[in-house]
Amino acid sequence: MRYSSGVELFAFVLLFSFFRGNGETGLYLAESRDGHHWTALNGDKPLLAPVVGESKLMRDPSITRGPDGVFHMVWTTSWQGKTLGYANSRDLRTWSEQRTIPCLPDATNCWAPEIFYDTSTKEFVIVWASTVPGKFPETLGKGSRDYNHRLYSVTTKNFVTFTSARLFYDPGFQVIDGALFRKGGKYWMVAKNETERPPAKYLFLTWAKSLSGPWSVPTESISGPQWAEGASPIRIDSYWYIFFDKYRDKKYGAIRSKDLKRWEDVTDSITLPAGIRHGTVFQAPEEIVRGLRQ
């Protein structure tokens, strides 16, 4: 089986990073050969416990592997706070010291960061959702409580210095959980419409020729009528898969497509560890996964 992040093909094992509960126990990993049948690693125990951030949680762990073989992970540290968590590892077992990445000084929250390596600029891009009081008054009150989310981003080459946070994506409605991938020379993003009044709460796609935009008109729902979030896209053979958290149903869903237009629901063929929550599907060399099995 061969997998792709949208740029190159690798004969690697698929891994799924995830959390359980409220994120207080830390990082879990599962492996798969086909993207359908997943087995928990490390004895189904957490590999890394959270120690940084306002609430010391490890929610929404997003992992990508850099060109030097180092895995970089970012995560949500608190329901309300101004930082993201960060750590790195070469083997996914031994991790660097955890530290925080500042988001926005005026933000109410910093949710669900997704990390993406841009081969064109040789930079890592971190995208997350924040509510900034006073911004986008036209959609205030259309989401949960006083939240009014848009997507923001920073870039870095070394995880020591970061660009200033900027508004990354504003589709004219509340939006969270933006996950990037490459296809056909374009940047694609799957994200969640976070509008609650009237209910939307679905996943959609948009694309751009540059990460600075402009982004295309959002598609209609690709996840069906159920409430969905935490999408993770990856190519497996000739299909693009999107895994997502059907959080109201307390289970995971999956769809696949060859052209990003016609989607097939394959949820019933997916088996995952119990209690899995919002994470990321990525690739790792067989020798690294062998160590995690032990």
For 200-253, write each residue's pLDDT tens digit.
Answer: 999 999 999 999 999 999 999 999 988 999 999 999 999 999 999 999 998 999
pLDDT of residue 151: 98
Separation of alpha carbons 283 and 45, rounded Å: 20
CA dist 144 to 163, 198, 199, 279, Å? 30, 11, 10, 22
What share of the chain has pLDDT > 70, as a percent? 96
Which two three-digit tokens encode residue 97?
């010291």
For residue range 90-102, list pLDDT tens digits in order: 999 999 999 999 9
Residue 5 predicted with pLDDT over 80: no
Taking the whole predicted model, whether its pTM rises above 0.75 is answered as yes
Separation of alpha carbons 60 and 22, rounded Å: 10
Residue 269 predicted with pLDDT over 90: yes
Please work out, in degrees rounded to the nearest 5, the angle formed at the alpha carbon of residue 73 by the alpha carbons of 70 and 78.
Answer: 165
Amino acid at the residue 279:
G
Asked if residues 29 and 45 have their Cβ atoms less than 8 Å apart, the reply is no
Mean pLDDT for the stretch of residues 56-76: 98
pLDDT band at 11 (very low <50, low <70, confident <90, very high): low
Separation of alpha carbons 275 and 294, rounded Å: 22
Mean pLDDT for the stretch of residues 179-195: 97
Please work out, in degrees rounded to the nearest 5, the angle formed at the alpha carbon of residue 72 by the alpha carbons of 160 and 251.
Answer: 135
Q: Supply the mean pLDDT for the chain.
A: 95
Mean pLDDT for the stretch of residues 257-280: 96
Separation of alpha carbons 127 and 152, rounded Å: 6
Mean pLDDT for the stretch of residues 61-79: 98
Domains belonging to the chain, first-starting first, are 3-293 (2.115.10.20)
